[in-house]
Amino acid sequence: MSLHEFCLWVEKTDLSMFVKSNDWVVPTLQTIHILCVAIILSSILMMTLRIIGIIGKDESVQAFAARFLPWIWYTIPTLAIGGLLQISAEPERSLSNKIFQTKMVLLVAAMAGMVALGRKIHAAAGEAPSPAAGTIQVKFIGMIVFSLWIAIIAAGRWIAYAIGL
């Protein structure tokens, strides 16, 4: 089955019909999607600012990570479900769109980065608790993950401007 055939099949499902034929569904899904991204990006920002040593120096990097990392992992399933529902309405528009494909690659990279970030911060706690700032490695990963999420949002917005790409 080619991607095109798969898209044609998805378009005929009841789910796709439901999302397409009710005007309120897509804007509602997109609003939830944006709110989820807001929670993730601001959580990453708070952690990165703490790791660099700009905010919350009275608390450890580990405490910041313990506060914000779980929120990111709770939010991602909601993002994924909302994203899949939006795709079901117009599969061809997204799945065969180069910007969408780039966005998915960036997303995988960001998730790998967040796993690495969590592990490094956890490991650093055992070696030497550093109240002032994170290690160079942790700072680097934090900034990379934050930049990846900025790129993910930009790509997400750009899918609509790159139809047929």
Partner 1 sequence: MEQFFQWLQDSPLGVAVREQGNLFPVFETIHVIAITIAVGCIIIMDLRLVDLVWTKRPVGRVIGDALPAVWVSFGIAVITGVLLFTSHAVNYWHDAWFVWKFVFMAMAFVNQLVFHALTGKDLNHWAADFQLPVSAKVAGAISLGLWVVIVACGRMIGFTMEV
- Using CB under 8 A as the criterion, which residues of the chain lie in contact with partner 1 when the complex forms? 23, 26-28, 30-31, 34-35, 37-43, 45-46, 49-50, 55-56, 58-59, 63, 67, 150, 153-154, 157-158, 161
Nearer to partner 1, 7 or 19 (CB): 19
The count of other CB atoms within 10 Å of the CB of residue 45 is: 16
CB of 84 to partner 1, least distance (A): 19
Of the two residues 7 and 29, which places its CB atom closer to partner 1 in the complex? 29
Looking at beta carbons only, is 3 or 54 nearer to partner 1? 54
CA distance 33 to 27: 10
What are the start-end ranges of the H helices in the chain?
A: 3-11, 14-21, 25-52, 61-89, 91-95, 98-127, 136-158
